[in-house]
Amino acid sequence: MYQETNEKETIVSFPHQTHALQYATLPYRTLSHALSHDPTEEYAVLEQESQSVAETPNDDAMPPSGLDAVNQQLAAAYPELSPQLKLAAGYVLEHPMEIAFQSIRKSAAAARVTASTLVRLAKRLGFDSYEQFREVFQSAVQAGPVELSGRASDLRTLASQTDDQVFLDVGDAAFDNIGRLFTADNQSRVRDAARILLEAEKIAVVGFRDTFACAYHFAYVGRIAMPNIQLIRGQEGGLLTELAPFGENDVVVAFGFEPYCAETMRALEIARAGGVRAIVVTDTLRSPLVPGAAMTFTVANATPHFFPSILSAITLIEVLLAECVAFGPDGLVDNVARFESRMRAMGAYVSHE
């Protein structure tokens, strides 16, 4: 079994999507890269660049209040920009997710310009600072409440355009979501999560409404190898009773995407009050499930479908459980073999011979 070496909170930041359909296919990098820089260093750079760059006249215009307005102003101003500002503007238009979460240094390097050029572009649009400019992108890609009725209407619109569009768009989103899950620097973090699970005496799994399927899959498949996993159902007001046996040596795995379920929040509150460490699988670091978690995975769930996709979460479950079996004690493999033998002996499977 693993021996834990680090008790501090770990934020595992998989790339995540905006809930707005128009941003569902935007390119973006892992948030772990985006958040790995030293913020103190970045703020120093921003301050230095702001002091060294003269403001470009903007006729005292108010800065645009939304991403659409920013994009429109950039497109309108593009022909008049200098070559360096055009490079910066082109990168901003094509990579809104990177602008939202990367440091100014990384964005400048990717755009092949200097940090001062990005500051100058922000001031050209009327912003007082690059940070103020970037906040527009952060607000846009971490959009507000999901409107399921609006998504359903969008599906009808897609269907009216071509017979194959809905099928193709759902497929594209599915491949894209899973592709963002498998990055080199996420591999070690999945291993860390497996270590936490393997060291736990008991594992509670929580997910209600749209994420109940995730919780059930984790619990059903996981229990085959790890009998200490328990699905928390919370039926008939039994949430407190089900979670009461869990304590400091245990772990709760919680699933929740926007719109976030009140029962999941309550379950996490009960578990944390008992000293249970939480592994949270959600859609954004702004999720209310994140505070207090020992480890957080944010997974992409963009889809033209009217409800958030759980495909990436299910895939993450398979990866986590596979890591547990691969790097855990031999007894886990024995548990799987015994389960299979027992099921066959009981006639649980139909022979195709």
What is the extent of the structural domain holding 297? Answer: 10-14+176-345
**Is 134 part of any domain?**
yes
CA distance 201 to 276: 11
Same domain for 186 and 59, yes or no, is: no
Please give the tally of structural domains in the chain.
2
Take residue 54 and report the two structure tokens written for it. Answer: 């003269």
Task: List phi, psi (to 5°) of 9.
Answer: -65, 135
Same domain for 183 and 86, yes or no, is: no
CA distance 5 to 203: 20
Point out which residues pair with 298 in neighbouring strands: 282
Helix/strand number for the chain, H first, E second: 16, 6
Q: Domain with 112 in it: what CATH number?
A: 1.10.10.10
Same domain for 185 and 314, yes or no, is: yes
**Is 159 part of any domain?**
no
Q: Domain with 220 in it: what CATH number?
A: 3.40.50.10490
Helix (H) or strand (E) holding 271: helix 262-273
CA distance 66 to 168: 30
| Concatenated DSSP letters of 134-165 | HHHHHHHHS-S---HHHHHHHHHHHHHH-TTH
Q: What is the pLDDT of residues 72-98, one digit of tens each?
A: 788 778 878 999 999 998 888 878 778
Same domain for 222 and 97, yes or no, is: no
In this structure, what DSSP letter does residue 234 have? -
CA distance 283 to 302: 10
Same domain for 211 and 77, yes or no, is: no
In this structure, what DSSP letter does residue 238 have? -
In this structure, what DSSP letter does residue 102 have? S
Type of residue at 107:
S
| Concatenated DSSP letters of 171-226 | HHHHHHHHHTT--HHHHHHHHHHHHHHHH-S-EEEE--GGGHHHHHHHHHHHHHH-
Of 92, 114, 141, the residue that ends a domain is: 141
Burial of 209 (0-12, 13-18, 19+ CB in 10 A): middle
Take residue 135 and report the two structure tokens written for it. Answer: 């906040």
In this structure, what DSSP letter does residue 35 have? T
* Residue in the block written with tokens 């007082």: 128
Take residue 201 and report the two structure tokens written for it. Answer: 């005496």
CA distance 48 to 46: 5
**Is 311 part of any domain?**
yes
Q: Which long-range contacts (CB under 8 A, 24 or more apart) does 90-93 make?
A: 92/121
Pairing of strands 203-206, 229-231: parallel
Q: Mind listing the pLDDT tens digit of every residue in the chain (353 residues)?
A: 444 334 344 444 433 333 333 333 333 333 333 334 444 444 455 545 444 444 444 545 577 777 767 877 887 788 789 999 999 988 888 787 788 888 899 999 999 999 999 999 999 999 998 988 988 887 766 544 444 444 445 545 555 555 667 777 777 777 777 777 776 657 778 999 999 999 999 999 999 988 899 999 999 999 888 999 999 888 766 788 888 889 999 999 999 988 888 889 999 999 988 899 999 998 876 778 888 888 888 887 767 666 777 888 898 999 899 989 888 888 888 888 888 888 888 887 777 66
Take residue 344 and report the two structure tokens written for it. Answer: 């066959």
